[in-house]
Amino acid sequence: MNNFTLIIISISLAMDAFAVSISEGIAIKRKSIKYSLIVGLLFGLFQAFMPLIGWEIGKYFYSSIFTKAKLISFLLILAIGCKMIYEAYDEDKCEKEGICRLSGDLILLAIATSIDALAIGFSFALNKDLNIVKSVSTIGLITFAISFSGVLLGNKIGNILSNKAEYFGGFILIGIAFKTLLM
């Protein structure tokens, strides 16, 4: 696989993480570089490790796991989006703490947005000339940068939307869930 193809695959895989990162940025009430780093690192790590896992087991289970992966991803993202909208009613806590409680769902979001990377890992198993370390490192680094930027962008959007920001973020996640199911 050439570098250009790897970069395009990496950017494509990072798009769901980017959209979810924007939602996370919307949920926080004040700019937080630390939180942006946490989201970027978590999403980058999951996006890097999932293709590695897929590469290892891809030869044996590709067709049966791939069909279930979409449904699992849909259900996780949909549930978190609905939960985010429900928690939007609890604005007092968000204002007191400065960061809304959605952060507890980051690992589920990282898993849900990296299931497509697992499927890419299955296809990596079929490419005998692939440098897996280079591939997963590129995917992880690009996802980190895009997710980190997404949180900061989402925070700017959240400040503009004010009290409607969490609802908006929840609806974004629900939209991503249905897109995942339909793709």
pLDDT digits (tens, 9 = 90+) for 2-16: 888 889 889 888 888
Give the model's confidence band at 65: pLDDT under 50 very low, under 70 low, under 90 confident, else very high.
low
**Is residue 168 over pLDDT 60?**
yes
- For the record, the structure tokens of 43 come out as 């999403």
User: What pLDDT is recorded for position 62?
Assistant: 57
Radius of gyration of the chain (CA): 17
Q: How far is residue 48 CA from its own chain's centroid?
A: 12
Query: How far is 168 from 129, CA to CA, in rounded Å?
Result: 44
Q: Tokens 């849900």 label which residue?
A: 112
Query: How far is 81 from 3, CA to CA, in rounded Å?
Result: 35
> Is the pTM for the entire model greater than 0.85?
no
Mean pLDDT of 97-125: 72
Query: How far is 171 from 160, CA to CA, in rounded Å?
Result: 17
Give the model's confidence band at 166: pLDDT under 50 very low, under 70 low, under 90 confident, else very high.
low
